Amino acid sequence: MTDLERARKMMSEGEYTCVLCLDDMTFTSTANGIKPLNWWLRDGCRFEGFSAADKVVGRAAAFLYVLLGVKEIYADVLSESAIGVLDHYGIKWSYGKLVKNILNRTGDDLCPMEKIALDHEDPDEAYSALKVKIAELMSANKK
């Protein structure tokens, strides 16, 4: 079984939203959105050569996967704009469902992280802008 097959299997059988595999190493998360990717980047993790399975990959997540260094991704839901990022950085991709955009939780607008990511072409610049938005959202939730 390949790393990508193992990651997909673990995600589909468990309650994981995100699984990264390389040989006997596995990292998992049950957090929604780009939270796990942000946490791993914040903690200085690198996943060079890993394969990832994720529930939803939009442009924002694609930029973060570029920074994490994964080699391939399977997404249950993948956005068209994520494909452009993944192709540009040589990350192989596959999906269950292709969508034009990733929507917010209520489905009436773009996901806030996608709105930020659409304004950027560089992963580092996108991540800097995403961190600002994450801080804003966390601050608003504390009130």
Q: In the 8-state DSSP scheme, what is residue 47?
A: -
Q: If you write DSSP's letter for every residue of 44-107 in order, what string do you get?
A: T---TT-EEEEEEE-HHHHHHHHHHT-SEEEEEEEEHHHHHHHHHTT-EEEEEEEES--B-TTS
All structural domains of the chain with their residue ranges: 3-142
16-25 residue pLDDT tens: 999 999 999 9
Q: What is the pLDDT of residue 137?
A: 81
Q: What is the pLDDT of residues 95-116, one digit of tens each?
A: 999 999 999 989 999 999 999 9
Q: Which CATH class is domain 3-142?
A: alpha beta
pTM of the predicted structure, to 2 decimals: 0.95
Are the C-beta atoms of 18 and 51 separated by less than 8 Å? no
